[in-house]
Amino acid sequence: GIIQVSPGRNTRYGKFKYLLNNNNNNNKHHSDNNSLKKALISQEESDIDLLIKQQKNMQASIEQLRLRVRTQEMAISAILDRLAVLEDQVGDNY
């Protein structure tokens, strides 16, 4: 015969079920396996969709951070230019 093992309430224990080899049980077991496979495939597809969404969100966040860094670099450059002009003016006065 065939033994089906299902997880129990505790990880140490499982539920064992003896399956007979008659056509009725085989068909039921086969359809249970098919539905389990379909459920696993559906779960994997939803996981992949979630990962794709997360990746797109991360890419958008990275692009926003790049723009912020570029804006700050430009502001620092403008401040340094203004500081150089002020240093020249102070140097000319002394």
pLDDT of 6 strictly over 80: no
**Contact (Cβ atoms closer than 8 angstroms) between residue 18 and residue 1:** yes
pLDDT for the residue numbered 91: 86
Tokens matching residue 75: 């502001």
Model pLDDT, residue 26: 52
C-alpha–C-alpha distance, residues 66 and 49, integer Å: 26
- Summarize the confidence of residues 18-23 as an average pLDDT: 62
pLDDT digits (tens, 9 = 90+) for 29-82: 566 777 777 777 777 888 888 889 999 999 999 999 999 999 999 999 999 999
User: Please, which residues bridge with residue 48 across strands?
Assistant: none
The pLDDT assigned to 75 comes to 95
26-56 burial by CB neighbour count: b if 16+ within 10 A, else e?
eeeeeeeeeeeeeeeeeeeeeeeeeeeeeee
Tokens representing residue 16 in the block: 């064992």
Residue 7: pLDDT band (50, 70, 90) is: confident
Res. 24: pLDDT tops 60: no
> Is the pTM value of this prediction over 0.85?
no
